[in-house]
Structure 1
Amino acid sequence: MVTAVPIDREILADNIAASVYAAVRAKAVSHAFLPGERLNEGELARELNVSRTPLREALYRLTTEGFLRNVAGKGFFFRNLDPKELFSLYELRTALEVAATQLAIERASDEQIHALAEVVREEGAGEACTQKELIAQDERFHTHLVALAGNLEMSRVLDNINARIQFVRWMDIGATTRKAAHHDHNKIVAVLARRDFDTCCALLKKHIERRQDEIVAAAHARVGQLYTERAARAQA
C-alpha cells in the first residue's frame, strides 16, 4: 500500500505566489499593459488560473517595486510614463554602478575581472543580433560588473532598475551603436583590470548617462509603439 505524502500547503501557496508574481512582472516589464491602464483583476486571475489572493499579493509587491500604483477604492494601475522618474532611474543606476565599481576594484580578483573581459570579447565577436539580444547583452555586462562588488543588495537594486527602464532603452539601435557599446564595455573592463577608479568612473558615467530630453523622446516614441501594437492585435 502506497502511503500518501502530505502536501505542505504553505510551501504550495508560496510557490503559487512566486509564479503569479513572475508572470505579472513579466507583463509589466514587456508593457503588456498600457501606461495608466487599470488592471482587470478578475480577467488577470482567470488568465493565470489563480485565485484573487496570490494575485493581490503579487500586485502589492509590484506596487512597492514601482511597476504599479494602487489607488484606494479604484484598484491597481500600470504606472504612467513619467520622464522625470525615468531620468531619476538613470541617475540612480549611474550612482549605483559607480559605487559598485569602487568596491569591485577593492574586492574582485584578477580572475573574476578576466572572466568578465572574456564575456565582452565573445559577445563583441558574435554575429549580428536582434535589439532584444543587444539589450540583454548590455544588461548582462552591467549585472556582472555590479556582481564583482560582492554586494547582493546592489545587484537586487540594479535588477529592479533595469526592469523599469528596459522599455525605453535603445529604441533605434543599429550596427554603429552596437559597436560603440562593445567598445565601451572593453574600455571599462581594461581600466577596471588596472584598478583605475577615476577613469573607470568617468567611462561608466559617459556610457550610462542619457540627457533628459533623449529619455523623454524615447519614452514618447515607445508609448506610440505600444498603442499601435495594441490596435494591431485587436484587428488581427
Structure 2
Amino acid sequence: MNSSKPIVRKSSNSSVDRIYERLKQMAMNYKFRPGEPLNEVELAASFGVSRTPLREVLNRLVAEGLLDFVPRRGFSCRALDTKMIFDLYEVRCGLEMMSAKLATERATDAEVSTLVTLWKTASQKFGELSPLECAQCDERFHEQIATLSRNAELLHSLQAINARAHYLRLISMEKVHYRHNTCDEHQLILKAIQKRNVEAAVNCMSAHVSLRQEQLVEVIKEGIARLYMT
C-alpha cells in the first residue's frame, strides 16, 4: 500500500498578486513605451512564470484602464491621450465633490480630527519629500476622505482614477508651487469638513480639483515630451 501523501500544489494566487503589483506600478509610471506591444515571452521569463498567470494580470490591467489590448497585436501601454485625461479629471471632480459632501455628513469628530492631524504632519515635511512620496501622500489624503464617506464604491472608483492619473500627479509634484498650493487647498477642505459645512467642503474640493484641470495642459505637454521625445 502506497502511504505517500498526495502532492498539494500551492495556489498561484500569490504569484498572480506579485506580478499584478509590479506590472501595475510599471504601467502607472509608463515604464513601457505607449502603444508599443508588450513582449509576453520576455515578461513571463523576467517574472519566472508561465504566460497563463501573466495573461491573467495583463487582462486585469486592461479592465482597469492601465493597458490596452488590440486583437492580433496584443497588449500595450495606454497612450497619454489629452481627451482621455480631461475626461478622467471631470469624473474625478464629481467623485471628489461627492466624497467631500458625504465625509462632512458622515465622519465622526474623532475621524476628522485624526485626518487633520495626519495631514498637518504630512504638510510640515511636504517640501522635503520626493515627488513620488508627495504624489502618494496626496493620493492617500483624497482616498482617506473617500473612506470617511462610508461609500465603498466611491472609494474604489477614486482609487482606480488615481492609478490612471498617477503619472501626471508625479510630474506635478516636481513643481514647488504646486506642492504649496496642494497644502493650502487641503487645509481649506479640512477646515470646511471640521465645521460640518457641506457647501464649503464641496466648493473647496471642486476648486481644488478644477485648478488641477487648468494646470493639466502644462503637465500633459511635459508628460508627452518625456514619453515620446526622449
Normalising by structure 2, we get a TM-score of 0.89
For the residues of structure 2 that align with 1:5 and 1:161, how far apart are their CA atoms? 45
- Shift in Å at residue 214 of structure 1? 3.8
**CA offsets 1:47-97 (integer angstroms, 9 cap, x no match):** 111100000001111111111111111111111111111011111111111
- Shift in Å at residue 129 of structure 1? 1.9
Partner of 2:13: 14
Partner of 1:35: 34
| Range that drifts further, 176-185 or 187-196 | 176-185
- Shift in Å at residue 210 of structure 1? 4.4
Aligned-residue Cα RMSD (Å) equals: 2.1
Distance 1:41 1:106, change over 3 A: same
Partner of 1:199: 200
**CA offsets 1:198-232 (integer angstroms, 9 cap, x no match):** 1111111111124767424322311322356xx6x
Distance 1:212 1:138, change over 3 A: closer
Secondary structure at the aligned position of 2:69 is classed as strand
Distance 1:72 1:174, change over 3 A: closer
Where do 5+ consecutive residues of structure 1 fail to align? 232-236
- Shift in Å at residue 6 of structure 1? 5.5
The amino acid that maps onto 2:197 is: D
For the residues of structure 1 that align with 2:177 and 2:73, how far apart are their CA atoms? 46
The amino acid that maps onto 1:199 is: A
Give the paired residue count.
225
Partner of 1:222: 223
Partner of 1:114: 113
For the residues of structure 1 that align with 2:6 and 2:107, how far apart are their CA atoms? 46
For the residues of structure 2 that align with 1:202 and 1:213, how far apart are their CA atoms? 16
Secondary structure at the aligned position of 1:81 is classed as coil
- Shift in Å at residue 122 of structure 1? 0.8
**Contact residue 112 and residue 193 of structure 2 kept, 8 A:** yes
Partner of 1:188: 189
For the residues of structure 2 that align with 1:44 and 1:75, how far apart are their CA atoms? 13
Distance 1:79 1:170, change over 3 A: closer
| Range that drifts further, 108-117 or 158-167 | 158-167
Alignment of 1:64-75 (within 5 A): 64-75=63-74
Where do 5+ consecutive residues of structure 2 fail to align? none
Partner of 1:177: 178
Normalising by structure 1, we get a TM-score of 0.87
Percent identity of paired positions between Structure 1 and Structure 2: 32
Structure 1: 4+ residue segments shifted above 6 A: none
Partner of 2:104: 105
For the residues of structure 2 that align with 1:22 and 1:80, how far apart are their CA atoms? 20
Partner of 1:128: 128
**Contact residue 132 and residue 170 of structure 2 kept, 8 A:** no
